Structure 1
Amino acid sequence: MSLLEWLQGGLLISGALMFLVGSIGLVRFPDTFTRIHALTKADNLGLGLIVLGLIPASFSLSITLKLLLIWLLVMLASALSGHLVAWEARAQQVPLRQPGETENPEGTHE
């Protein structure tokens, strides 16, 4: 295996791990705002690493530009959707929870 193939493999695996970290953050973080942050940041970085890992395998400039355009569009959509969710959560006055704080079955915080 060449050095380029090792680099591609490392980038692809790192990107997949970033997606995993974002998914874990979605489950583990205590409130809506920190969950949005985990998903948007980790997923954008994960996709960026995957795109960078795929670029050396593309044999034309048009494919490379398409990959970069997809990454740009996903980053814009992720930022926009994250802001929309945060604005709606703020408008509905979704409470912030502290780490370790649990929710009672009645829907109130401890």
Structure 2
Amino acid sequence: MVKAVHVHKDAFHEDASSQPGSFFVDEPDAGGVQILWYRCPCGCGAAGVLRVGNGFKPATDKPSWSWNGSTDAPTLVPSVHHVGHWHGFLTDGEWRSC
């Protein structure tokens, strides 16, 4: 398991080697959809982006996730697949591999 650590977006973008599993969430758009940026939990340093809704799964033609709105103990549904690197769940603030 890898702890999900909320970081400031400037720190996330300035330090590509930031902690695996670190993340931040952009402000919502007019429809309430937000972008959750994360560092791959596998430790490779790659960044990923997910479309999330705070308490809802956005209706879009692109993949999206329901987020519990927490930055201390985030949970996403469904699983996250960082293709070629990692597949698992973000549950109660921990990235857990499948």
Q: Counting helix residues as a fraction of each chain, which structure ranks higher?
A: 1
TM-score (norm 1): 0.23
TM-score (norm 2): 0.24
- Larger RCO: Structure 1 or Structure 2 (Cα < 8 Å, ≥ 6 residues apart)? 1
Pick the structure with more strand per residue: 2
Which of the two has higher C-alpha Rg? Answer: 1
